[in-house]
A and B are shown apart, each in its own frame.
Chain A
Amino acid sequence: MSNSMDDIANFAEAFFIIGSNTTEQHPVFGTMIRRAVRKRGAKLIVADPRKIDITEIATLHLRHRPGTDIALLNGLMYIILEKGMEDKAFIEERTEGFEEFKQTVMQYPPEKAAEITNVPVEKLYETAEILASCKPTAVLWAMGITQHIVGVRNVMDLANLQMLLGNMGKPGGGVNPLRGQNNVQGACDMGGLPNVYPAYQPVTSEEARDKFAKAWGATTEAKVGLTVTEMMPGILEGKIKSLYILGEDPIMSDPDTKHIRHCLEELDFLVLQEIFPSETSVYADVLLPGVTFAEKTGTFTNTERRVQLVRQAIPTQGDAKPDWWITSEIAKRLMERISDRVRKEAPYAGWGYKNTSEIMAEINTVTTSYGGITHARLEAGERLQWPCPTFDHPGTPILHTKQFTRGKGKFMPIDHVPPAEKPDDDFPMIMSTGRVLYHWHGGQMTRRAKGIMQVYGEALVEVNPDDATTLGLNGKNVVRITSRRGSIEAQAWVTDRVPPGMVYANFHFPEASANELTHASLDPVSKIPEYKVTAVKVEPV
């Protein structure tokens, strides 16, 4: 997020939420938005094919077709430009590439946008009016925007919108992706990505490689590695022989489960470090017991780049060990066996960490944005959002206040591209996937929470009442959903939350996981799979 949750909640004149089911997926932030709308009278525009909970309090709900975000945004920007409602001073001073971008947007008059998106022209005008008159407007999104083959382009088009409106770098504005997992921000910050070292230093940069070679005594070639969505098929191609998976459950969370099963079956050696025997553990050769957040001390970084202290509350269970200890032990033993690689005199060549505070001290030296974030400062009650480069730096609640990371903000000309998988006669409906309020991702934790299972104990698939009638569901509420890759049976929830022609399924339950049906068409840049659009057939069982 470019901004903080509290500044958005307190200062946004309007919220534009697109592809985020905020009140269910980021519930506490969702309540902050509810408060801003209900108590402060902030305007709320929700763009989502589904009538999600937060649309109840929305000023406008744009129910665009899945996979038509760019046409929607370009249509809105066309109107803003047509009426001269753009922030000319901001565009002039802080951006570049405007003319080329404008030419592309001008290809999307409201009538065309309406035809692609199924959002009426009048609603597009109403939306543009609100966006242009409410300064600042905060744009919020989540996986509804990114999990498309055009995920990156969707995000760029949202950045275009916010630059066009001059909403960057101020409280209550900004571009704000809501990160899913508790520490997905931190995992990215810490170099858990194939293209960057910690703090997004590119693996292809000589300077960065040199820095880590000096610090660690060894580093990698200047070659980007494989993403998770490339590693799995990479197994079948013979590229990947061994995997070390820490606290992840690809059988539940990756697209096209049948394919993933096949990949993991072909793997030579799988080490899984987990707290439960997950669905993926069936394929593991070694299962190492890690611990829950209650059993270790360290830091998580939230969606607004706030680094916070996690404190151990109870002893580790049984023989389970903190994950940092396990990884260190593997590293030490592996280093003995690959003795010629690491230059032992390097200052951070070693792995003799006694606690996570020592690891953070090492992070401080090689990760500029975390340079001043220590356990001691957090323990003393300091509230730190990165970038926080030095020990006396107060942290950075809002990014890009004076200039963008690259200097001037660059407008990108973005065209609409239809989703990869199109409905046809055999698979006439569209399925979108996601989570529900009560469950978490692959469900390993929440399926083991008793009260949660009482409230939401089995997978429900949302089906529109019109479709239910056409399909002859007639109170017989179990449906079979079939895609080109697989089939699941689940209880139908007949509801107008989904529009006709669309169903919505989750991946919390192994016996009816939506990922049996999804496909691995990837965004060419981010390699994210298009979970949000799968062509399916729905039948009563």
Chain B
Amino acid sequence: MINLKINGKSIQAEPGKTILQVAKEHDVHVPTLCYHKDLSPTGNCRMCVVEVKGGRFLQAACVTPIWEGMEIETENEKVMKDRKLTLELMLANHPVDCMICDAAGKCELQDLAYEYQAQIPAWGTKGTRYPVNSDPNPFIRVDMNKCILCRRCVLACEEIQGRDVWGVAKRGFDEIIVAGAGVTMLEARCESCGQCVAFCPTGALSNKMNYGMARAHQVKKVATICSYCGVGCQFDLLVKNNKVIGVSSNPDAPVNGMALCVKGRYAYDYIHHPERLVKPRVRKYLLEGKRKSDIRDSIAEGRKPKVGLSNIESPWDWVEVEWDKALDIVAEKFAETRMKFGADSLGFLTSAKCLNEENYLMNKLARQVVGTNNIDHCARL
């Protein structure tokens, strides 16, 4: 174990750890911006600087390993002044539009500016240097004016997604994050997983589908499981006014952590699609007491693709009915079929998209109530 002091307090820590790790373990707050627990630390934003006794410069806590006898000050005047100046330099190159920025309320730069009461410096800001919403990707909104060059997006794409879409171009004040060799994200083979958005600490990368729809404090987050593939990623559904307006990574997700794919993160808008079925429907002939065999011609006509409710009267038309009516028709028909042709004349296809509990009930319905083993689902398809 290594002996060191943080803010005058003696502590012991395992060798190989960084100052930031040790500080966290002992509940000493060190502000961070480019650092993220799931990504390799790079030490390039300078927000986590601390003073190490005997050192010529302040040290970035996220990349400085501890050593025997180290004495660290995390909140002395020199450190606080330096951090504030760092923030002011960032703000000097950042649009002042927090009032309408989508990231406000979850923006880490905004939080730190508030914590350090950093203002737009007296010499003003550089304003807007790049086109706003500059990439045609349908899911990801890019506004490089708000980028603080922390490189989390670069690392998220490289280390989490393994796709290397983002990179850094140019040097000095012109330094900028680019997709590929300065092409669009999709041209740079982006898979639209949105990992970069999830890791971006500011409004530089945000989600197009819900841009401007809600502030962070206006949404309810509900942790749930993705409905697409069998990996079983967990995420938070973002709900406002009883509507799902987005999906965000849940850092505690057991299988996937922060990672999601394009379908999990962005293919949620089907939930409120206007074509959703919201009322039971039965074919008109069922209400008229007719038999299907009597209306063959109408069916053939009606099956020519068109699914909606039409004005032309046909016994094969859909009629919206109350639940009781629809359920009674179903039960009556199933009972009749069973009586006439036996239990095995009924078939049940349960659903790999539905809950375990629902699949259990389909199995129980087929086997207990009806008495057939004709039950299957699309596992083979």
Contact = CB atoms under 8 A, between A and B. Distances in A.
Nearest to B373: A225
B358 A244 contact: no
A489 interface: no
B232 A306 contact: yes
Contacts of A285: 282-283, 286, 292, 333
B278 A191 contact: no
Contact of A184 (B346, B360, B369, B377): B377
Nearest to B304: A282
B55 interface: no
Contacts of B231: 5, 26-29, 178, 302-303
Given A294-B224, A300-B232, A269 B333 contact: yes
Nearest to A316: B278
B130 interface: no
Given A292-B271, A303-B230, A451-B208, A228 B361 contact: no
A303 B329 CA distance: 37
Contacts of B11: none
B330 A289 contact: no
Contact of B281 (A27, A286, A312): A286
B259 interface: yes
Contact of A289 (B191, B243, B277, B341): B277
Interface string A297-313: 01111111011111111
B379 A188 contact: yes
Given A183-B355, A193-B375, A248-B378, A31 B162 contact: yes
Contact of B373 (A203, A294, A301, A312): A203
A223 B372 CA distance: 9
A194 B363 CA distance: 9
B381 A308 contact: no
B35 interface: no
Contacts of B347: 226, 231, 234, 240, 242-244
B193 interface: yes
Contacts of B262: 27, 437-438, 452, 455
A461 to B, nearest CB: 20
Contact of A308 (B234, B263, B351): B234
B373 A286 contact: no
Nearest to A449: B267
Contacts of B239: 313-314
A526 B379 CA distance: 10
Contacts of B281: 286-287
Interface string B351-380: 111111111111111111111111111111
Interface in B299-340: 299, 303, 305, 307-308, 318, 323, 326-335, 337-338, 340
B334 A334 contact: yes
Contact of A191 (B254, B282, B363): B363
B158 to A, nearest CB: 9
A13 B360 CA distance: 39
A216 B280 contact: no
B286 A224 contact: no
Nearest to A235: B347
A520 B156 CA distance: 44
Contact of A35 (B162, B243, B261): B162
B41 to A, nearest CB: 15
A135 interface: no
B216 interface: no
Interface stretch (A66-74, A93-101, A319-327, A490-498): A319-327
A46 interface: no
B353 to A, nearest CB: 5
B62 interface: no
B229 A26 contact: yes
A359 B352 contact: no
Contacts of B276: 275-276, 289, 317-318, 320
Contact of B377 (A178, A192, A195, A281): A192
A353 B358 CA distance: 11
Contact of A254 (B228, B256, B337, B381): B381
A296 B363 CA distance: 19
Given A26-B229, A225-B374, A363 B368 contact: no
A191 B222 CA distance: 29
A242 B333 contact: yes
A186 interface: yes
Given A225-B374, A302-B232, A242 B345 contact: yes
A389 interface: no
A157 interface: no
A408 B124 CA distance: 76
A32 B58 CA distance: 36
Interface size class of A (residues with CB under 8 A): 35 or more
Given A313-B244, A318-B278, A445 B356 contact: no
A359 B357 contact: yes
B191 to A, nearest CB: 7
Q: Which of B281, B356, B363 has the most CB of A within 10 A?
A: B356
Contact of A302 (B192, B230, B343): B230
B358 A180 contact: no
A477 interface: no
A293 B345 contact: no
**Among B225, B227, B307, B337, residue most surrounded by chain A Cβ atoms (within 10 Å):** B225
B113 interface: no
Nearest to B361: A327
B208 A281 contact: no
B286 A302 contact: no
A268 to B, nearest CB: 6
B261 A319 contact: no
B63 interface: no
Nearest to B278: A318
Contact of A190 (B278, B359, B380): B359
B230 A185 contact: yes
B199 interface: no
Given A197-B363, A225-B373, A234-B347, A182 B232 contact: yes
Nearest to B256: A28
B68 interface: no
A187 B242 CA distance: 29
Contact of B376 (A226, A271, A330): A226
A333 B338 CA distance: 14
A234 B347 CA distance: 10
B157 to A, nearest CB: 10
Contacts of B361: 324, 327-328, 331, 353, 359
B226 interface: yes
B98 to A, nearest CB: 27
Given A293-B224, A302-B231, A246 B356 contact: no
Which residue, B286, B307, B349, B372, has most C-beta atoms of chain A within 10 A? B349
A25 interface: yes
A26 B360 contact: no
Given A265-B299, A359-B360, 5 more contacts: A192-B362, A194-B373, A330-B331, A437-B263, A455-B192
19 contacts: A179-B230, A181-B353, A183-B351, A183-B352, A184-B379, A193-B376, A220-B367, A228-B377, A242-B347, A276-B276, A277-B308, A290-B354, A294-B244, A298-B355, A309-B224, A323-B358, A356-B357, A363-B357, A452-B267
Interface of B: 138-139, 159-162, 186, 191-193, 208-209, 220, 222-234, 237, 239, 242-244, 254-256, 259-264, 266-273, 275-283, 286, 292, 299, 303, 305, 307-308, 318, 323, 326-335, 337-338, 340-341, 343-381
Name the 7 nearest CB pairs between A and B, nearest first: A318-B278, A302-B232, A225-B373, A34-B162, A298-B355, A247-B351, A27-B261
